[in-house]
Amino acid sequence: MTRLILDIETIPADKSKKDLVEGLAKKNKEDAFKNSGLDGNFGRIFCIAYIKEPPESNKASIIKGEEKEILKEFWEIARDVDVFIGHNVMDFDLKFIYKRSIIHNIRPTRQLNFARYRSMPIYDTMREWEKWSMGNVTSLDTLANIFNFKTSKDKMCGSEVYGKYLKKRFDEIYEYCKKDVELTRKIYYKMNFLNL
């Protein structure tokens, strides 16, 4: 079985869409542009970190560059994957990737079933930990603490990505994204009684 453990980091819409994003906002128009980084309709993928197994590895790789090229490379990597693993990957990462792929006219090499209450072909560690209790959300950092794993948030957290992006501190974002994937892998292995 081929596994792909992944995480994305996103940034707000291109500046050319700022007026559109703010115009569509029903409230908090000032925050609408910054928050567009959490919306696959307008936000952009800055990077994708991943571990593809086999062979087993605890070190993540990074896909970076222009968003369109990131997506092309991601779908090539995903071509033979059986299970896509991530934390909140069902409701955020993979849906964001799909939307941005359609916007850029990049055909996915895999059609994924987003049906809930399943662990194949998408294994969402957040949903599986809560056994699909939709009102409960356990963060990646909380799971790290539960399992006595080192947090991936030791140097930065997701809310800092755009600020680091504006300061062109790209390597810090890449490292943070890779740490999230490496931690997600450990959590997946723990939750599935696999040897690390």
Provide the β-strand partners of residue 7: 49
CB 188 within 8 A of CB 5: yes
Cβ-Cβ contacts under 8 Å for 22 (sequence gap 6 or more): 29, 32, 33
Domain spans in the chain, listed from the N-terminal domain onward: 3-191
- Each of the 196 residues of the chain gets a pLDDT tens digit; together they read 999 999 999 999 998 888 888 888 877 766 888 888 999 999 999 999 999 999 999 999 999 999 999 999 999 999 999 999 999 999 999 999 999 999 999 999 999 989 999 999 999 999 999 999 878 899 999 999 999 999 998 888 888 999 999 999 999 999 999 999 999 999 999 999 998 7
pTM: 0.95
In CATH, which superfamily holds the domain spanning 3-191?
A: Ribonuclease H-like superfamily/Ribonuclease H (3.30.420.10)
